[in-house]
Amino acid sequence: MSMRRQKPDDRYQKLIAHWEPLSPLVEGYRTLRLNIQFSMGDKLMQTILVTSPGASEGKTITAANLSLMMAKDHKKTVLLDFDLRNPRVHFTFDMPNLYGISSYFSDMCQIPDIIQPSGVSELSIITAGPIPHNPAEMLGTPRLLELMAYLRQNYDFVIVDSPPLIVSDAMVLAREMDGCVMVVDASKTKRDSAVKAVEQLKAAGANLLGVVLNNKKVGKREGYYGYGYNA
Amino acid sequence: MNEELNFREILLMLLKRWKLILLITSLCTIGTALVSFYLLTPIYQAKTEILVNRSLDSTVESMLSVAEIDSNLKLIETYRVIIESPRVMERVLEVIGAGATMEDLLLQTKVEPVKDSQVISITVEDPDQGRAVLIANTIATTFQGEVVKMLSMNNVHILAEARNNPAAIPVSPKPILNSVIAFVLGLATSMVVVFLLVQMDTRLQSEKEVEEYLGLPVLATIAVIDKKTRKAFRQPKVEEVRNEYEKAEA
């Protein structure tokens, strides 16, 4: 468990897309949103799973900022924290996690009860809730389908933050989603584990849209256009 | 890794890790320079030259035939062996005193005929310049005496005596040369190290690599959030929450 703990500093990484809309980093998330919208084509790409081969490679940050970008595009969006083992979304958004997905799965709440406002218009959040003993079995129940059906009806976009692919949860979730985005940490993720993760997702029948290359070291010369707008 | 690494890519790869290359190269160069300047004992050289003249000794005015020159050369070779023989060397050992062995003496002494001449040069290397000079001169004079005794021929002349030169530069070590060699070797080593590091690093570091190994498109690239940016985002409210969490965890 302690291996998966992020450093205290990283845990509170900010929602850059909200605070600094002109930052070149946000340009990356904007590109991600556009590319997801493009890859939709005729298909309905309403639910997106964000996962990664290993722990702390930037899933939550990517999911949070992607959902912010969607909300800022005036799409009614909901962000789900499906990492029932090591939930992080409530830290990122600085909100309580007294009830959430696990409470709904264990029949303690109804769906509307676990949806919380994020403080950003058009964006709602469902936190993970208390950490359950059997997260893998929970995901196998028909409640997952019910939840997704409900959210599909009420929202334009559903972004799901998931556990890494070293546990089976993400595979179960990926099957139920329209699209899947894999986060790869340029300073961390090894080729082999990434290749294995892709194979796992494909075997699970996920619609893998592509990769988000996170934490890439960008040289001074390769800076984005507009770098320094907010310097 | 792609087999066809082109020159530009190699150059970029090396430039990217210039700090490591600089570190290894400068460590090698400075280390060698320090060792050469301070740790290695300087070795001085002393040289005497001996002239062997046979025709002077002969009463008959003979023509300088091919056979004559040939026998001269053979004589010089004989003299060389005599110089290195224990008969001469033991005398030298007596003169320079205790603490020296025959093997050492032979190792630091180099006897060789000067090409196309009747001159034999004796070169002695020693940490002490005076001793080197003493050995070289002793060898020369001892040899001269021995030749008279053995061959009853007085045809050996000392052409140039070794002299003590206070401004003499040691022949070894050569700190500058050593440093240059170390610099080149260090540069080569560091490049090999960089190549190995790149080969061993299996992280997916670029869009190109992601597409190559995963066969998936890169939807977006997010740069490293640097410390400066991170600090700018830290809202005071969140800072408080963070402190609370840390207290609770402690």
Domain residue extents for chain B: 7-39+173-200, 44-160, 207-248
This prediction's pTM = 0.67
Determine how many CB atoms are found less than 10 A away from the CB of residue A37.
Answer: 14
- What is the CATH code of the structural domain delimited by B44-160? 3.30.70
DSSP B155-209: -EEEEE-----TTPPPSB--HHHHHHHHHHHHHHHHHHHHHHHHHH--B--SHHH
State residue A63's pLDDT score. Answer: 92
Rg (CA), chain B: 35
With CB atoms and an 8 Å threshold, state whether A213 touches B222.
Answer: yes
Chain B contact set for A188 (CB, 8 A): 203
Compute CA distances B144 → B45, B52, B130, B154, whole Å: 21, 10, 21, 8
Q: What average pLDDT does chain A have?
A: 83
Nearest-5° Cα angle at B188, B1 to B38: 150
| A94-105 pLDDT tens trace | 888 999 999 999
- Report the chain B residue with the minimal C-alpha distance to residue A27: B222
Mean pLDDT of A147-161: 94
- Report the chain B residue with the minimal C-alpha distance to residue A190: B203
CB contacts < 8 A (A, B): 127
A182 — pLDDT class (breaks 50, 70, 90):
very high
Chain A contact set for B213 (CB, 8 A): 191, 194-195
Percent of chain A with pLDDT over 90: 40
| A44-86 pLDDT tens trace | 789 999 999 988 888 988 999 899 889 988 999 999 999 998 8
Sketch out chain A's domains with CATH numbers: 11-214 (3.40.50.300)
A146 — pLDDT class (breaks 50, 70, 90):
very high
State residue A8's pLDDT score. Answer: 43
Whether the Cβ atoms of residue B234 and residue A14 lie closer than 8 Å to each other: yes
Mean pLDDT of A204-221: 82
Of B2-16, B73-87, B165-179, which range is least confident? B2-16
| B109-137 pLDDT tens trace | 888 888 877 788 889 888 888 888 888 88
Partner-chain residue, chosen from B219, B224, B242, that has the shortest CB–CB distance to A8: B242
